[in-house]
Amino acid sequence: MTAAPRGVATLILETAFKSVSVATSVDGAVFLPRIEVAAARAAGLHAAIADCLEQAELSPRDITHAIVDVGPGSYTGLRVGLATIRTWTAFRPLTIEAVFSTDLVAARADAQFEVAGAFSVIADARRDQWFHARYGKGASGLLERTIEPRCVTTSELVALVGEDRVFSAEPSRPNAIETTVVGMPTATDALRIDYLAFAEAEPTPRYLMPAMEPR
């Protein structure tokens, strides 16, 4: 007897934050690793993917799609996640879609608070620099990214935020800005805002850090 065809099988990788997260989605069912992978980076990522595939009764060649976080975020984490996807595509072509790390924070903010109006997402980029992106609700009621993430100074951030409500994954913030912390995003947050994903055949990390001044 021939097995019934499976639906779209998607691998989701989130490695831009301190806590790494993995999931697979097939026929509407989501599978999460049963092993701890949050801080393992490369050491635990492959084992976590294998565990998700085992639960879903899939082989690596059954995965046809991928959603990957391209940042901004951890330099090491982004390199590990995107290297994993690029290695995969060397053996099995995938339809790849990318999301920004700020998209995932926005998804958590909307899920927790059902935010009305424009709001900003920020993250600490170090050296008095901040990542910023802005979101709002479109006519459909879905989140829209109205300003893509970029790296700005503290003074620029204060001006950009204005009267927005501000959300972040971690408590770090400029003193002048009141921020609501929504916690570290996970791979499943990407499924909430897959409509914000964009095609990227060769995903590139968005470090967004300004060039350092030569000494």
Tens of pLDDT along 177-208?
999 999 999 999 999 999 999 999 999 999 98
| pTM of the model as a whole | 0.91
16 and 70 housed in the same domain:
yes
CATH number at residue 51: 3.30.420.40
13 and 94 housed in the same domain:
yes
125 and 177 housed in the same domain:
yes
52 and 156 housed in the same domain:
no
> In Å, how far from its chain's centre is CA 213?
29
Confidence band of 73 (pLDDT split at 50, 70, 90): very high
Residue 94 lies in a domain: yes
The number of distinct structural domains making up the chain is 2
3 CB-contact burial (10 Å; exposed 0-12 / middle 13-18 / buried 19+): exposed
16 and 36 housed in the same domain:
yes
194 and 89 housed in the same domain:
yes
**Contact indicator for 147, 153 with CB cutoff of 8 Å:** no
What residue numbers bound the domain in which 32 lies?
Answer: 9-100+187-199
- Mean pLDDT in the chain? 89
Tens of pLDDT along 6-65?
578 999 999 999 888 999 999 889 999 998 776 555 667 888 999 999 999 999 999 999
- Is the pLDDT at 67 greater than 60? The verdict is yes
79 and 23 housed in the same domain:
yes
